[in-house]
Amino acid sequence: MDFLPVFHNVKGKLCLVVGGGEVAKRKAGVLLEAGAKVRVVAPEIEPELVNREGVECIVAAFATEHLDDVTLAIAATNERSVNKQVSELAQARNIAVNVVDDPELCTFIMPAILDRSPLMVAFSSGGASPVLTRMMRGKLETLIPQNYSRLAAFAERFRSLVKQHVTNPVKRRIFWENALEGVVAEKVLAGDEASAEAMLQQMLADEDNIQRGEVYLVGAGPGDPDLLTFRALRLMQKADVVVYDNLVSKPIVEMTRRDAQRIYVGKKRDNHTLPQEEINVLLVRLAKQGKRVLRLKGGDPSFLGEVVRRSKRWQQKESPSKLYRALRQRPALHRTRVFRLPIAIMHSRAYSSPGISKMAR
């Protein structure tokens, strides 16, 4: 990670844009939308900027005093020497600075933005490829409709009320997940906020019945994140605890919630972190604490009847929680080419057996 993703509150703050062309006009426009006061400095400034409300225009070459009282600065000229001067002087004053298309001179970068206010999504390649980030934004435009702004505003309106009624942070997160993934969200997106509010109030009245501990079995397949099912991805983002083994690739583990607790239970030759029986007990114990537990298993966890064994263990422990399965579909074998697939599994501490070479032939 080359840059720390943050959202900067610039409402009512003075921001500097050095440059008066088309690029500077776009940057000034973004700052104005965020509620900033904008100072534009350039020998020539676009008339549209001069006439825009909330913009202080100074027709002059950039000078040090233009940084006075500034919270952040953006250099958007076509002269690198000027951009470099802005960057150096701003950094000397500990002012955050962005230089358009020159990441080396930046202390922050301007991402591509998907605006569904109050929901905001920002994309960045760290300055490596602005075109790619805009392409990604275009893809998500179709996945996150404009009316999601209405859903975000609805959640914001009831945030304090829900926090007052549901004081446990874990239960509160589960409450909101149930609301925003269910009928309440559907009503809001359809424009029927009155019905949505009534349903939310009913959910608060039944706060003691919020779904508690659950266990998800997710097969990580051969390690390629692209082979995960959509359901697996959804459950990976919901889990409070992630229990994973040695066969799960790092990219897949990193796709789980960043704030989730991660417990490694991998097995290597002569080194079993936890026996299978203890792993099953661990899953039950965590679920009984009201946590959503993800058992992330390399390959397909239903292989060799593993899911069946786990289900029986779950029932024996009489847990009040639920067991979910999100499994990869095993690739089918081509029937015209594969008639029989013998598998031999052998183990030898000395790793030497005269029969192995014969079988291989």
Q: Which residues are catalytic?
A: 245, 267
d(CA 47, CA 41) in angstroms, rounded, equals 13
CA atoms within 13 A on the CB side of 57: 19
Torsion sign over Cα 101, 122, 227, 223: positive
CB atoms within 10 A of CB 33: 11
Nearest to 58 by CA among 105, 100, 14: 14
**Rounded distance between C-alpha atoms, residue 230 and residue 8, angstroms:** 32
**Two structure tokens written together for 319:** 């847990």
Number of residues that this document lists for the chain: 361
Query: CB–CB of 219/307 below 8 Å?
Result: no
The phi and psi torsions of 326 (rounded to 5 degrees) equal -130, 100
Token pair of 263, please?
């417990």
User: What φ, ψ does residue 349 adopt, rounded to 5°?
Assistant: -65, -30
